[in-house]
């Protein structure tokens, strides 16, 4: 089981996939001409939804830090929990360059451009986040969809304990720190200087920059392959194993990746797993 279960997920067991859902949300909430660099900052973040803030953070200055070679990875056993094979978001994304295109263009002044918030679910538009949030509740019909400041007291049936609600999405957290970390996934403060793609955390940006530089600091001990991401190396190491990490509960077949086991189950081997 993943360790990350502080967050309560109401609407879907599937994680948001920002390349599609998040970016679509951004385009839905923010006019295309609305520049990332001129979006509202934390001080007035109540006026933004999924809009990144300052793209030129100091984290940009500390970019490609030299990475020490990876030590041999010990492949610990992993539980084979139940898998959610819900339908994929049926994305057919164009290149990321296209998706990011224009987002880092020269920003017009926010004094000139009005803030317009479009509903994700219908064509309605609003001039304030609160109005949009209130409207979107009519779609979700979930009380916790409302921003925190708009619902000072939660109904007992909704939350039996204090929770920190994200004002940008329906998620809620049990600690303020977790909420702040989550909000970065909306503000996306780390922007690639090369392509303009924005990320929630500096290390995500560093990993992305490797796709530009071609740096692959994580080398396989068994072959001459190298990877830009440690997780990908870990997945690759599974290919060197006779017995893979993820095993089918019915046919005892093993797979190097969870996703492959997903596909295997979906193909009908384990209909009632």
Within residues 217-256, the interface with DNA by CB under 7 A covers 225, 227-232, 234-236, 238-239, 244, 255-256
At 29 the three-state DSSP class reads helix
Compute the C-alpha angle 159/165/168, nearest 5°. Answer: 140
Out of 163, 202, 249, 250, which residue is the one contacting DNA (CB under 7 A)?
202
Nearest to DNA of 118, 264 (CB atom): 264
Looking at the Cβ atoms of 47 and 260, the one nearer to DNA is 260
| Residue 27 touching DNA (CB under 7 A) | no
Q: How far is the CB of 217 from DNA (least distance, A)?
A: 10
Interface residue with DNA, options 14, 121, 139, 222 (CB under 7 A): 14
Of 44, 78, 127, 221, the one binding DNA by CB under 7 A: 78
Question: Is the Cβ–Cβ distance between 210 and 193 less than 8 Å?
Answer: no
Q: What is the DSSP letter of 167?
A: S
60 Cβ contact partners less than 8 Å away, ≥ 6 residues apart: 190, 191, 193, 205
- 129 lies in the binding site for DNA (CB under 7 A): no
Q: How far is CA 239 from CA 62, 183, 218, 229, 247, in A?
A: 34, 36, 16, 16, 14
Binding-site member from 64, 138, 203, 251 for DNA (CB under 7 A)? 203
Question: Does 65 engage in binding with DNA (CB under 7 A)?
Answer: yes
Of residues 93-112, those binding DNA (CB under 7 A): 93, 96
With respect to DNA, which residue has the nearer C-beta, 134 or 216? 216
Query: Can you give the length of the chain in residues?
Result: 273
Q: Quick one: which of 88, 123, 141, 224 contacts DNA (CB under 7 A)?
A: 88
How remote is the C-alpha of 4 from its chain's centroid?
13
Q: Could you tell me if 186 and 49 are in contact, meaning their C-beta atoms sit under 8 angstroms apart?
A: yes
Q: Return the half-sphere exposure (C-beta side, CA atoms, 13 A cut-off) of residue 108.
A: 11
Q: Which of 6, 122, 142, 158 binds DNA (CB under 7 A)?
A: 6
Q: Alpha helix locations (H) across the chain? A: 23-29, 96-100, 129-140, 176-187, 202-213, 230-238, 258-266
Q: Which stretch binds DNA (CB under 7 A): 85-93, 116-124, 136-144, 148-156?
A: 85-93
> Of 32, 56, 62, 251, which one interacts with DNA (CB under 7 A)?
62
Q: Applying CB under 7 A, which part among 6-14, 133-141, 142-150, 156-164 lies near DNA?
A: 6-14
- Minimum CB separation of residue 56 from DNA in Å reads 14
Distance of CA 19 to the CA centre of its chain: 8
Find the binding residues for DNA in span 148-187 (CB under 7 A). 171, 173, 175, 177-178, 180-182, 184-185
Minimum Å gap between C-beta 109 and DNA is: 27
Bridge partners (DSSP) of residue 247 are 254
- Rounded to a whole number of angstroms, the minimum distance from the CB of residue 114 to DNA is 27
Q: Which two tokens stand for residue 66?
A: 């030299």
Which stretches of 16-168 are assigned E, i.e. beta strand? 117-118, 125-126, 164-165
Run of H or E residues at 99 = helix 96-100
């Amino acid at each position: 089981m993943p360790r990350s279960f502080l967050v309560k997920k109401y609407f879907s067991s599937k994680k948001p996939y920002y390349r599609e859902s998040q970016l679509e949300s951004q385009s839905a909430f923010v006019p295309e001409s609305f520049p990332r660099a001129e979006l509202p900052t934390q001080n007035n973040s109540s006026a933004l939804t999924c809009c990144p803030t300052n793209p030129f953070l100091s984290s940009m200055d500390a970019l490609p830090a030299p990475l020490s070679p990876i030590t041999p990875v010990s492949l610990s056993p992993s539980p084979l929990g139940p898998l959610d094979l819900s339908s994929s978001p049926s994305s057919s994304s164009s290149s990321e360059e296209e998706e990011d295109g224009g987002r880092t263009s020269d920003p017009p002044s926010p004094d000139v451009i009005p803030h317009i918030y479009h509903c994700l679910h219908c064509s309605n538009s609003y001039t304030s986040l609160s109005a949009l949030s209130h409207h979107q509740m009519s779609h979700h019909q979930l009380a916790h969809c409302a921003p925190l400041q708009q619902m000072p007291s939660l109904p007992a049936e909704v939350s039996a304990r204090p929770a920190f609600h994200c004002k940008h999405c329906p998620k809620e957290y049990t600690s303020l720190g977790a909420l702040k970390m989550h909000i970065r996934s909306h503000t996306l403060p780390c922007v690639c200087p090369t392509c303009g793609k924005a990320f929630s955390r500096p290390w995500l940006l560093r990993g992305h920059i490797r796709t530009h530089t071609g740096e692959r600091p994580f080398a396989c001990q068994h072959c001459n392959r190298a990877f830009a991401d440690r997780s990908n190396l870990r997945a690759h190491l599974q290919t060197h194993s006779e017995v893979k990490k993820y095993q089918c509960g019915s046919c005892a077949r093993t797979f190097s990746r969870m996703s492959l086991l997903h596909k295997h189950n979906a193909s009908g081997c384990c209909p009632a797993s």
